[in-house]
Amino acid sequence: MLIIKKNKFLIRLAILPVWVVLYIYLEPLANGLVYNVFGMDKTLRLTEAIRFFIFEVPKVLLLLTLIVFVVGIIRSYFSPEKTRKALEGKSLLVGNVMASSLGIVTPFCSCSAIPLFLGFVESGIPLGVTFSFLIAAPMINEVALVLLFGLFGWKTALIYLSTGLFISILSGWIIGSLKLEKWVEPWVYDIKAGKLAMDEEALTINHRIEAGFTAVREIVSKVWIYIVAGIAVGAGAHGYVPADFMASFMGKDVWYSVPLAVLLGVPMYSNAAGIIPIVQVLLEKGASLGTSLAFMMAVIGLSLPETIILKKVLKLPLIFTFVGVVAVGIMIVGVLFNMIF
Partner 1 sequence: MVIKILGTGCSKCVNLENKVKEIVKSNNIDATVEKVSELQDIMKYGIMSTPGLVINEKVISYGTVPKDSQILEWLKEAN
- By beta-carbon proximity to partner 1, the closer residue of 2 and 18 is 2
- Residue 179's identity, in one-letter code, is K
CA 29 to chain centre: 30
* Rounded CA separation 231/9 (Å): 34
Q: Are 152 and 146 in contact (CB under 8 A)?
A: no
- By beta-carbon proximity to partner 1, the closer residue of 129 and 293 is 129
- By beta-carbon proximity to partner 1, the closer residue of 31 and 307 is 307
- By beta-carbon proximity to partner 1, the closer residue of 21 and 193 is 193
For the CB of residue 299, give the shortest distance to partner 1 in the complex, in Å.
Answer: 22
Q: Is 46 in the site for partner 1 (CB under 8 A)?
A: no
DSSP-based three-state secondary structure for 42? coil
Q: Is 4 in the site for partner 1 (CB under 8 A)?
A: no
For the CB of residue 114, give the shortest distance to partner 1 in the complex, in Å.
Answer: 6
- By beta-carbon proximity to partner 1, the closer residue of 18 and 198 is 198
For the CB of residue 125, give the shortest distance to partner 1 in the complex, in Å.
Answer: 11
- Residue 143's identity, in one-letter code, is V
x/- mask, partner 1, residues 53-92, rule CB under 8 A, reads --------------------------xxx--x--------
Stretch that binds partner 1, among 13-21, 26-34, 116-124, 258-266 (CB under 8 A): 116-124
Q: Is 22 in the site for partner 1 (CB under 8 A)?
A: no
Q: Is 126 in the site for partner 1 (CB under 8 A)?
A: no
Q: What are phi and psi of 172, to 5 degrees?
A: -60, -40
Q: Are 151 and 119 in contact (CB under 8 A)?
A: no
**For the chain, how many residues are written?**
341
Figure out which of the listed residues 13, 15, 46, 191 binds partner 1, where binding follows CB under 8 A.
191
Positive or negative: CA dihedral 24, 26, 31, 32: positive
For the CB of residue 37, give the shortest distance to partner 1 in the complex, in Å.
Answer: 42
* Rounded CA separation 145/101 (Å): 14
CA distances (Å), origin 330, targets 75, 93, 112, 166: 27, 20, 24, 10
Biggest CA-to-CA distance, the chain: 71
Q: Are 334 and 298 in contact (CB under 8 A)?
A: no
Q: Is 186 in the site for partner 1 (CB under 8 A)?
A: no
Stretch that binds partner 1, among 37-45, 119-127, 252-260, 319-327 (CB under 8 A): 119-127
Binders of partner 1 among residues 195 to 254 (CB under 8 A) are 195-198
* Rounded CA separation 171/159 (Å): 18
- By beta-carbon proximity to partner 1, the closer residue of 3 and 109 is 109
- Residue 69's identity, in one-letter code, is F
For the CB of residue 115, give the shortest distance to partner 1 in the complex, in Å.
Answer: 5
How many residues line the site for partner 1 (CB under 8 A)? 23
CA distances (Å), origin 135, targets 141, 163, 171, 224, 300: 11, 12, 8, 25, 10
For the CB of residue 188, give the shortest distance to partner 1 in the complex, in Å.
Answer: 10
x/- mask, partner 1, residues 95-114, rule CB under 8 A, reads ------------x-x-xx-x
- Residue 72's identity, in one-letter code, is G
List residues near partner 1 by CB under 8 A: 79-81, 84, 107, 109, 111-112, 114-116, 118-120, 122, 191-198
